[in-house]
Structure 1
Amino acid sequence: MWNKLEQYITDIRFNRWYRYFAIFCRITLAVAFAISGWVKISGERFAAGLSSNHPLGHYFDALLDTGFYYTFIGIGQVIVAILLLIPRTALLGAIASFPILINIFVLTYSLRFEGTRIVTFMLLANLFLLVWDFQRLKPILAFQQRNNELQTNPNYSSTHSFPYVFFTCVLLTLATVIGVNQIMYDIRPGNSPEECRNGCRDSATPKASKQFCDCIYNQGHNLRTCLEEFEKAKAIELGADSKSLPRPSSEK
């Protein structure tokens, strides 16, 4: 099974559609890193529209106050963007960006940020780039080298057939990420007070949800405190609703 997987990874490098997709992933990640890095180098707060009382807003404010460390992060991100854009250094850029994206991935999910979907897409694109250059990574990962005709034959012709199965899996993966993000949290702070309060309309506990939004944006408490208060208020609201329901009459 491993040999077949390795052979598949070798084969896709000779298909132009996979090659186009790899270029697309490289450029997309490079643009994202370049924009993020330039904001930091300019000394501006990242996600300036995000409220300072938002859980991630607390983090961005604290990061901005670190001074030249903030600039250092920006320079590193711009360097990663440049590495991704140059074909010869694209693998180095993919390796360097992977721990950065893992860190952002965990951060955004732990703070229930609305941008978790985009970060997940970026991480998946980064993983594809690492798989794309797997043959070059094998010596680093200490995988046993094996010789086969497809890897050693310089006359192996490229293919132009469209990989329907692969891109169908890509679309299904993106849809799964969006769907899972919709249901994995019972409440989110949103990116603004209005977005948070709008999410209360369809909640089973609207009063507790509004109290959560007030705790985040008006009182400025941290996410953990507000979630604890939300769980208490939700239990009280659900308990009050259950008491208000008509009880069935007892049989004689």
Structure 2
Amino acid sequence: MITLSTFEQFYLTIKGNRWYWLFSIFCRVVLAFAFIIAGMVKILGERFASGLSEIHPMGAYLTALHQTGYYYTFIGIAQVVAAVLLLIPRTVTMGALIYFPIIVNIWLLSFAVRFEGSFVTAPLMVLANLYLLVWNYDRLRYILPISKFSDLGIVQKPEKYNTKFPLLFFTGVVLIVMGTIAFARFGYEAMPRISLADCKKQFENAQNGAAGLEFCECIHTAGQPLDTCLKAFEDSGN
């Protein structure tokens, strides 16, 4: 059983390794860049993914969200604030805390409507955000339900980092990325895709090609809800 003391010893090892530190910087920069772009679109009043049809499941959601007025702007401001806080060393923890519920919501939304525009990036961003939260455990632990704190304190940047490459960790990172991409490609039998043509391509030479084409027409031409189109697709295969 892993005790808090064992975890903190492992945590100190990680904090002293240059590769883990560089990965934390990479996560901060990539996450911040993504939210600055997405947030500024909302602040400027433009509909996110404006090229997406309004009858597409994700397009319908984004259109409705765009029409909420200052709530839409507020989301954009929250994203930009979280991004800026991530870029400032002293405020990384606060930025990660603000960022997390927003990106989890985006991840769940992407999976709920099977939106390939963020089907891969959203879960990876959630994991990157979780990494930053763990990286800042020494600060976050004071708000965790821990009855007794150790004398870990705030971990300071070491004078000299350990440069041993954590092969197991980065192998895991690569496998997670590959697994996420594979799931996005093969995880579902039917995906709405971005356009009618792209939707139909996934059913080329497929045994359920006719049902697949009807599914695509249901989404992109009839503008029916995703669940309705999926049910008709599944019933056609029985």
CA deviation vs aligned residue, 1:92-132 (integer Å, no higher than 9, x gap) = 00011111111111110011111211101111100000010
Quick one: structure 1 residues 156 and 5, their matched pair in 2 at CA, closer, same or farther if it must change by over 3 Å? farther
Q: How many Å apart are 1:53 and its aligned residue?
A: 1.6
Distance in 2, matches of 1:77 and 1:125, equals 16
- Counterpart of 2:151 in structure 1 is 147
State whether structure 2 residue 200 is matched by structure 1 residue 197: yes
Match for residue 206 of structure 1 among 205, 209, 216: 209
- Counterpart of 1:137 in structure 2 is 140
Quick one: structure 1 residues 154 and 24, their matched pair in 2 at CA, closer, same or farther if it must change by over 3 Å? closer
- Counterpart of 2:8 in structure 1 is 6
Distance in 2, matches of 1:52 and 1:154, equals 49
Distance in 1, matches of 2:157 and 2:131, equals 24
Distance in 2, matches of 1:22 and 1:184, equals 29
Quick one: structure 1 residues 155 and 62, their matched pair in 2 at CA, closer, same or farther if it must change by over 3 Å? closer
Letter in 1 for 2:82: V
Percent identity, aligned pairs only?
44
Q: How many Å apart are 1:17 and its aligned residue?
A: 1.2
Distance in 1, matches of 2:196 and 2:209, equals 15
Alignment of 1:96-135 (within 5 A): 96-114=98-116, 115-135=118-138
- Counterpart of 2:24 in structure 1 is 22
Alignment of 1:148-167 (within 5 A): 157-167=160-170
Unaligned runs of 5+ in 1: 236-252
* TM-score of the superposed pair, with normalisation by structure 1: 0.87
Distance in 2, matches of 1:153 and 1:15, equals 13
* TM-score of the superposed pair, with normalisation by structure 2: 0.92
Q: How many Å apart are 1:232 and its aligned residue?
A: 2.0
Match for residue 235 of structure 2 among 232, 236, 240: 232
Distance in 2, matches of 1:201 and 1:6, equals 53
Distance in 2, matches of 1:221 and 1:155, equals 57
8 A Cα contact 1:15 1:161, kept in partner: yes
- Counterpart of 1:247 in structure 2 is none
Letter in 1 for 2:220: Y
8 A Cα contact 1:205 1:234, kept in partner: yes
8 A Cα contact 2:16 2:157, kept in partner: no
State whether structure 2 residue 174 is matched by structure 1 residue 177: no
- Measured on the aligned residues, the alpha-carbon RMSD in Å equals 1.9
Q: How many Å apart are 1:204 and its aligned residue?
A: 2.6
Distance in 1, matches of 2:211 and 2:157, equals 66
